């Protein structure tokens, strides 16, 4: 994880992504983006067709991931991203897919 400091304490972003986001490489590309940004967490498919992203790290890096999730660069077709923010828990040692 990218080191944090008082100016950029670790935060947690939980994002539910809906649209055509399964079977299009969405999880793999999200994993790549999260690793590039130095984030930890997990991305997983859900039975309702959505993808859940839980990422921890400095808020500027999380904001960049959120921007990417909402951008045309994300695979498939993103209809909506529902986001929530909380304090990081330190639960994750890396970023992975489920």
9 pLDDT band (50/70/90 cuts)?
confident
> Active site includes 16?
no
Which of the following is catalytic: 8, 16, 29, 45?
45
CB neighbourhood size of 59 (10 A): 18
- 29 is an active site residue: no
Instruction: Please give the model's pTM, rounded to 2 decimal places.
Output: 0.89
Q: Which residue has the tokens 């039975």?
A: 47
Instruction: Show the DSSP H helices in the chain as ranges.
Output: 26-36, 59-69
Instruction: Report the mean per-residue pLDDT for the chain.
Output: 92
What are the pLDDT digits (tens) for 31-48? Answer: 999 999 999 999 999 999
Tell me: the pLDDT tens digits for 84-93?
999 999 999 9
Neighbours of 19 (CB within 10 A): 17
The active-site residue, picked from 11, 27, 36, 70, is 27
């Amino acid at each position: 994880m990218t080191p944090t400091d008082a100016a950029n304490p670790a935060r947690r972003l939980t994002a539910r992504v809906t649209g055509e986001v399964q079977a299009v490489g969405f999880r793999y590309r999200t994993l790549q983006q999260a690793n590039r940004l130095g984030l930890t967490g997990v991305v997983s498919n859900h039975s309702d067709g959505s993808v859940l992203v839980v990422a921890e790290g400095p808020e500027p890096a999380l904001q960049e991931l959120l921007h990417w999730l909402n951008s045309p660069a994300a695979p498939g077709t993103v209809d909506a991203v529902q986001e929530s923010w909380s304090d990081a828990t330190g639960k994750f040692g890396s970023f992975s897919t489920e």
